[in-house]
Structure 1
Amino acid sequence: MTLALFVGSLLVHELGHALAVRVLAGPGAVEEISAGSPAIFRWGLLRIGILPTWGYVRFDLSRVSPADRRLVAVAGPLASVGLAAAFGVAATMLPMDAGWRQAFHAMSAANFCLAGFNLLPIPPLDGWAILETWLHIDQKRSELLRRIGAGVVFAGSIWIALWLLSRR
């Protein structure tokens, strides 16, 4: 159940980005919203996967200014912080058994971590999207940096997972 809640958390994060794109660029600017992989559910622009490995919102970059791209990038972590607060409040105030309370506290912490991690200035994370708008990097170099950054994030995630598993 916690896995499903975290995939839902990724979706809320990405919906934060999508809402910002819609407000700033207008209807039709969002091309795809994805949370998790591999995809097990598709509906319109939405794609949901079973594992909480990655999420993104694909949209027409030409419809937003660099300042608007920064707002779009920040909207996802803000949605994660809001969800973290909601999980924390629910765990504290709603009547539930100890297992659910523990899961909600874990989801609150996980969403705060998701927000913080995504603000790191590593491509393709949200922190990079913010930094990239000030660096004025050409499209070809930006794509190369995104691919390298994605590899670093993936390798780092695997290393952390293996380290955590080895501690048990």
Structure 2
Amino acid sequence: MATAHFRHSDRRISPVFLGIVAVMAVSGWAVWTSYAASRGLAVFLFVTAAWVVSLCLHEYAHARTALHSGDISVGAKGYLTLNPLKYTHALLSIVLPVIFVIMGGIGLPGGAVFIERGRIRGRWRHSLISAAGPLTNVLFAIVCTAPFWLHALDGVPADFRSALAFLALLQVTAAVLNFLPVPGLDGYGIVEPWLSYEVRRQVEPFAPFGLLAVFGLLWIPQLNQEFFRLVYALLDGLGVSDLDAATGHSLYQFWPDLSLTPPR
């Protein structure tokens, strides 16, 4: 009976997540049809909702990979329901990443699901659990840019095209930053199982500050410029022009400019 309960309750998609998807769909329709009175507000709602959906999928990927690697506790914790309210740190998981997007136009997922690493055997499995999240962002970026690299933009409204380009930019920045081997980010989680116990113990106290440290470093103009040069190069490889991404960012940020993105 316990197993049946786990299957039917702990893995059921949360109404909270479905509500976020509904906001994404409705606002996306508003952008496509130019129905909303404010173009910027419609783009803001669409991109923000889609970004939160990608955050939920990012964390779901961690949890699902952990489940198949031996940590069956993720189901009881609600991580398989895609409900962001079930995450260990709602502030780090949802609030801060959304603030990062609003302030700087960068996608940076925070720490969210707690994996019981003691249940998992094998360094490769530990690395794969950490890699699953940013790989989800890579997949999301590929989906967002598909109309661009498939040359299937005929009939796509300009605002929707720009919104997709900016959303793709967020996914690329999330993937690039999360693959950095910085304590607290998934990139460090990938390499951590291969480090000695002494190194891991010395690095552990810095893990809670890794996310904020990376965001702070991006305020340094030289680092910011080089980072976005890499991001735009990757977007160009996916068929998205600098102009499309910058226009989407401009539409999204319809309040006074707080951008970290270098002027185009």
Measured against the shorter chain, the TM-score band is: 0.7 to 0.9
Deviation at 1:149, TM superposition (A): 2.6
1:164 equivalenced with 2:260 (yes/no): yes
Secondary structure of 1:58's counterpart equals coil
1:74 equivalenced with 2:134 (yes/no): no
Most deviating of 70-79 and 157-166: 157-166
1:144 equivalenced with 2:201 (yes/no): no
When normalised by structure 2's length, the TM-score is 0.51
List per-residue Cα deviations over 1:15-72 (Å, max 9, x = no partner). 2211211111253246465xxxxxxx62588957355252422110101132211001
Task: Give identity over the alignment, percent.
Answer: 27
Which of residues 214, 218, 225 in structure 2 aligns to 1:153?
214
After superposition, the CA RMSD in angstroms is 3.4
> Partner amino acid for 2:70?
A
Structure 2: which 5+ residue stretches go unaligned?
1-44, 99-109, 225-256
Structure 1 or 2: more strand by fraction: 1
List per-residue Cα deviations over 1:123-151 (Å, max 9, x = no partner). 11111112211112356434213134344
Secondary structure of 2:184's counterpart equals coil
Structure 1 or 2: more helix by fraction: 2
Distance 1:16 1:71 in 2: 10
CA shift in 2, pair 1:164/1:29, >3 Å: closer
Corresponding residue for 1:110?
Answer: 170
Secondary structure of 2:260's counterpart equals helix
Which of residues 94, 98, 118 in structure 2 aligns to 1:49?
94
Corresponding residue for 2:117?
Answer: 61
Most deviating of 129-138 and 116-125: 129-138
Q: Is the 8 A contact 1:119 1:125 kept in 2?
A: yes
Larger Rg: 2
Corresponding residue for 1:24?
Answer: 69
Structure 1: which 5+ residue stretches go unaligned?
34-40
> Partner amino acid for 1:99?
D
Most deviating of 10-19 and 130-139: 130-139
Secondary structure of 1:57's counterpart equals coil
CA shift in 2, pair 1:151/1:100, >3 Å: closer
Distance 1:156 1:107 in 2: 22
Distance 2:158 2:262 in 1: 27
> Partner amino acid for 1:105?
A
When normalised by structure 1's length, the TM-score is 0.75
CA shift in 2, pair 1:63/1:117, >3 Å: same
Q: Which has the higher contact order (CA 8 A, sep 6+)?
A: 2
